[in-house]
Amino acid sequence: MTSTQRHHVVLVSPSGEPQGIAEKLEAHQQGWLHLAFSVMLFRCNEQGEREYLLQRRALDKYHSGGLWTNTCCSHPKQDEPVAAAAKRRLYEELGIARPLDFTLGSCFEYRAELDNGLIEHEWDQVIACEVSHVDMIPNPDEVADCRWWSEGEVKQAMVDAPERFTAWFADVLSRIDVMARC
């Protein structure tokens, strides 16, 4: 993989059809609609309640540093299947190497102006995966912290302090709720 591939995103139409590529930072500066994915690993506890594996983004990420979000989110490379991209990024961010059985959920478009002048404008593919246990070795360049949150805990935290979460997290969580069953 070359560094130019690593730093590009796939631009898409409002219906999610690929339209070309752009440099990642420029796409976020201009607010161009591009392809993304959001993975949520979950498990069911003994009380039958879902628990979600969330990560807190590294403090020096180019945007949304220090905020809590779903297990992993990123951008597929040009011509890279989204499930392959999700597996790649789970390994790069969290050191999760075991094979996972993904369920592809709905896609949604969102646009959020971030506090550093960047704009997230993404066609986001939601991906869920139930796991009973997962070994992790978080990459400190990507992840400041990660832990399991009960469904009740995360929903209460979002009411009490929504500023602790990324701009896209509420949309992802609402779609995961439909997909993840205990």
**Is 73 one of the catalytic residues?**
yes
List the catalytic residue out of 51, 72, 122, 129: 122
d(CA 118, CA 23): 13
Who's near 122: CB < 8 A, 6+ residues apart? 33, 34, 35, 36, 109, 110, 168
CA 79: distance to chain centroid? Answer: 19
From CA 33, how far away is CA 30, in angstroms rounded? 9
What are the structural domains of the chain? 3-179 (3.90.79.10)
Quick: pLDDT tens for 148-177.
999 999 999 999 999 999 999 999 999 998
Helix axes 169-179, 151-160, angle to 10 degrees: 150
Is 8 annotated as contributing to ligand binding? no
pTM, two decimal places: 0.91
Q: Which of 73, 107, 129, 151 is catalytic?
A: 73
Is residue 122 flagged as an active site residue? yes
Phi, psi of 81, rounded to the nearest 5 degrees:
-60, 145
Q: Is 121 annotated as a binding residue?
A: no
Instruction: Tell whether residue 28 is among the known ligand binding residues.
Output: yes
Mean pLDDT confidence for 126-146: 95
**pLDDT tens, position by position, 3-22:** 334 589 999 999 999 999 99
